[in-house]
Structure 1
């Protein structure tokens, strides 16, 4: 009898609870499944930058810069950067604010799930959607607008770290800004406005060489401008460097700014993130 009781206690002590990482994977799979079940959201998310790429590339199809680059070729990497920010900053800023307003976050705090698993789930979601968005835009760019894929392994390495750092920085900023809206209903207005302004002053819709310098200096404080510049450096020929504000791709500065925003975004999240609405105390 004593032996049986001891064996039962031993088996009980051997029970291992899932780690935050494994729970984050499960949470991410659930987030991705829920995202693809909302067909209208899926269509809008992936079609939005493609439609804008088609519109701007068609309007300025005959424009050729001094570097021999067509406007449509310039728009492809810029729209890729905007797509990365859309699927991370905008998507998380709005969705988390809505989940907070609907008491979803409050209910999660009452479960055994560690908080890190919730954020890991969101990261998996933006990683998948951001990758798919980028792949679709790259496919459109190479097939319709003569954007050449890099043949140099180093260029693909540059693309990888720009994608990872840019997505991480924008995702953290999205989590941070989700605490700004007072309700889920106002989240779209609060998040979309700064994102829209940044697209105009960061070289997404308007060529860098036509934007006033003071606007470029403001845009240079945020990740989007540097993602645009870095992705142009990956997918455009070196002759296009003359179109940049500094006349160079500045990959070192791109990495420095994006890395700084990853750290700064994490600090902002730790300081500002709330599981409950302000009116709930």
Structure 2
């Protein structure tokens, strides 16, 4: 090849490289694709009125039911047992949105081929989980708002008035959502038949509500039941919500007679880390196989 030919071809090569670089820069990133799909899933969900009503109806119905039954005063003359129920239902609603929605959504999308159809798009595994996270956080926030609004309107529930209590509420909400979402990913990965996913999710979730002190004081449960409930995150989520929303005088109802916020953070943090490791061992391997 002559020097003249090389000189003529060099600008062409540099032009092709520049075009490829521009195309790569124009490709959507992990965050943008994940958030974009998450917003799309939110729109699809709220267009399904039946799904919206059913997801909001259960925590609201349980709060109204148990709040109407338990009217007795506890700890002091100003707090009733229904306030304990409100805090527990909030924790239960967060777990329902994170654990139930994540497990059900992933199991269904694995079974109907949604993940395989995403193979030809610039959509990564990380983007997929980011989209699901956007969806479940939105659902959990909406449920929390609805429950608190009804609690204030129907039961005259008093909301926290200090920044510290709202901060406690925020980190309990965040750690609880992440920990139970990772648990939902793992459960969803173990279900091979889409028709059985509802039972696989509802059975442990309903059982946990009754051994975690969601609808009554955890300290009133038998010791053996307390040990079982203390192993799972819902008990600590409910305790953290009570610490954020109820007066400190209510802490006497806890087994340790204190809120134990340090232990709440430690246990929920351990579930976040352990749940993530469990996902790596189960669900991520299957999803990567579906994508690749």
If the TM-score is normalised by the length of the shorter chain, which range does it land in?
over 0.9
Structure 1 residue aligned with 2:76, among 67, 71, 79?
Answer: 67
What is the correspondence of 1:137-216 to structure 2 with a 5 Å cutoff?
137-216=147-226
The SS at the match of 1:14 is: helix
Equivalent position of 1:254 in the other structure: 264
Cα pair 1:106 1:276 within 8 Å, conserved: no
CA deviation digits over 1:126-162, x for unaligned, max 9? 1111111111111112222232222221111111111
Equivalent position of 1:222 in the other structure: 232
CA deviation digits over 1:59-117, x for unaligned, max 9? 222x2224342121111110000000000101111121111111212322453311111
Deviation at 1:214, TM superposition (A): 1.1
The SS at the match of 1:148 is: coil
Q: Name the count of aligned residue pairs.
A: 277
Larger Rg: 2
Cα pair 2:81 2:216 within 8 Å, conserved: no
The SS at the match of 2:93 is: helix
CA distance in 1, matches of 2:233, 2:120: 35
User: Is 1:275–2:284 an aligned residue pair?
Assistant: no
CA distance in 1, matches of 2:289, 2:194: 10
The SS at the match of 1:247 is: coil
User: Is 1:53–2:63 an aligned residue pair?
Assistant: yes
- Higher share in helix: 2
Which moved further from structure 2: 13-22 or 227-236?
13-22
Which moved further from structure 2: 94-103 or 225-234?
94-103
Cα pair 2:63 2:85 within 8 Å, conserved: yes
CA distance in 1, matches of 2:43, 2:86: 28
TM-score norm. by structure 1 comes to 0.93
Cα pair 1:103 1:276 within 8 Å, conserved: no
User: Is 1:13–2:21 an aligned residue pair?
Assistant: yes
Equivalent position of 2:140 in the other structure: 130
CA distance in 2, matches of 1:4, 1:260: 56
CA distance in 2, matches of 1:267, 1:99: 22
CA deviation digits over 1:155-189, x for unaligned, max 9? 11111111111111111111111012221100000
Structure 1's consecutive aligned runs of 4 or more residues displaced over 6 angstroms after TM superposition are: none
For the structure 1 residues 112 and 277, does the alpha-carbon distance in structure 2 shift closer, same or farther, using more than 3 Å as the test?
closer
CA distance in 2, matches of 1:254, 1:220: 10
CA distance in 2, matches of 1:110, 1:187: 27
User: Is 1:37–2:58 an aligned residue pair?
Assistant: no
Cα pair 1:105 1:276 within 8 Å, conserved: no
Cα pair 2:75 2:249 within 8 Å, conserved: no
Cα pair 1:241 1:247 within 8 Å, conserved: yes
Q: CA RMSD in A?
A: 1.9
The SS at the match of 1:186 is: helix
CA distance in 2, matches of 1:244, 1:180: 35
Task: Name structure 2 gaps, 5 residues minimum.
Answer: 1-7
CA distance in 2, matches of 1:109, 1:14: 23
